[in-house]
Structure 1
Amino acid sequence: MSNKRILLIGPNGQVGWELLRCVQPLGHVIAAGRNQNEQIQVHLDLTNPDSIRRVVREVKPTIIINAAAYTAVDKAEKESELAYTINGTALGILAEESQRLKALLIHYSTDYVFDGSYTQPYIETDTVKPLGVYGASKLAGEQAIQSVGGHYFILRTAWVYGLRGNNFLLTMQRLAKERDELKIVADQIGAPTWSRMIAQATTNILAQLDTSLCQVDIEALSGIYHLTCAGETNWFEFAKAIIIHENKQPNILPITTDEYPAPAKRPTYSVLSNTKIAETFGIKLPTWDKALELCLLS
């Protein structure tokens, strides 16, 4: 596997940071991003088409993993052009460059491409209908990749958290120290997913595709896959499961979405079915509460 050249875009994000550590055994990893630091070897700006093309053509990767995205859900309502540029336009360029090199492109999308009107887990072919700019921009990225075709995996995940970056877990841990009472939305249903498990599952897929024991048609397998932890919960119950591990435990009160107005609408139900990825690659993530326990013990 040492002959593989893996271009990892966004190594400082929640998933990217974990990926940088997981995929190292699979080949030579080149980390690319916008802000120069010890993690980033190559400067790449997803808002600049020339920057994207230049880096891909210089690195000549066999695998491109895009873990970068515009993820400010509420802010996107006012910064729609920037969100579409990073989440949509940039992906079309990455797909074109990947296709030109006959490389494999892996990209992460979101449960927010759905409107939340379902009452059972969404499968990959269910109708997409994003409620806000963030979800619509991520859908634009999916469609851009699909229109180019070639070798690609779009992994839709949801409610991502980890021990670094900006996420619900770290916010709850901070607020538990600062406040005596927390009001948390209880009528939005989803599946919290630890960033490390997303990275490990991605590495598992790549290892399967690369092994001599698995002669597969990657183009035939290319497409969208859902990848989340099993089970479902709401933000209120998720918060309770986090706070119980804290020394200071504030009183937590459930509220409705209407009681916590935000610029962007969220789907009330966005649980994703993981049947396809389980049947194709044998990947089954643990339940969200078990994954949370493992995260907090790590």
Structure 2
Amino acid sequence: MPTFEPKALRQVFSQFPTGVTVITTRNAEGAPIGMTASSFNSVSVDPALILWSIDKGAYSLEAFKDCDYFAVNILSDQQIALSNRFAGRGEDKFHGFEYTNGLGDSPLLPEALAQLQCKNWSIYEGGDHLIMVGEVIDYKITENERPLVFSQGSYAQASPHYDSLNNSLDANQMETIGQREFLDDHLLYLLRAAYNQLSEVFYQRLNTATGVSPDMWRIYACLADGQPLSLDVLEGFVMQPRDALLDTLASIGSNIHFDNETVQLTDKGMQIAQKLLMIEKEYKQEVSNRVDDNSYAEMKRTLRKLF
């Protein structure tokens, strides 16, 4: 049987985007239990079955093995803080947190994108995890919200691909029905298309110059002033859950000083950060050269007003 380095294998798995859920139940003493999981998936429509997997070393393992019911809270893209709250280990994640109760008193989290209340159907061995299969007894969905996505080690958002309409029709058809005019005048399409094209070039340059990934770049940029940051603060800046952030810090290796509480660049790390910032500065200049200085400055002011 082949063996793989766990961090590298997790990186491979993270190339497949998933949604983010918080699974909840009650333990034998009646205390609320919850954990963040991206391993959720549908199994069957008739009967209505879903599955997710739990690490055999998880603090809440026994509670989920022994429960009669559990709830799957599918998070919206506005609930990163909630995902991080339930991704920790062992602490009382429900302290000071308001929720309602579902089947078996499983906690239902407010403003979740969707909720599935499940009866514990079956449990299967799955290597270092157990595979939990649940029968859906009830469900709820919140309209007009978007899911929180986990992809390539970071939180992300799901939105229609900026090229989907272009690929669905040829140029003549688009001109005939006016879709080209619509796309050329649609703000969200223009913003999405500009971001995708500009970021792709920028990240390729970072990788070519220093072998730095987008996740690593965000860490270097946050720490480039030489000051230490706590993991909690850095976690929010780089849009990564704790486990993924720790993997990225491990990839940076000796270029950071990490004491389990704070992170700070070493002298060598500072040199790399300055090189990365120079690449970023040069790229910003290239972009600004496509328009005159006044237009570039006004564009940035306008974008800041939009969020």
User: TM (normalized to structure 2)?
Assistant: 0.27
Structure with the higher fraction of residues in strand conformation: 2
- Give the structure-1-normalised TM-score: 0.28
Q: Higher relative contact order at CA 8 Å, sep ≥6: structure 1 or structure 2?
A: 1
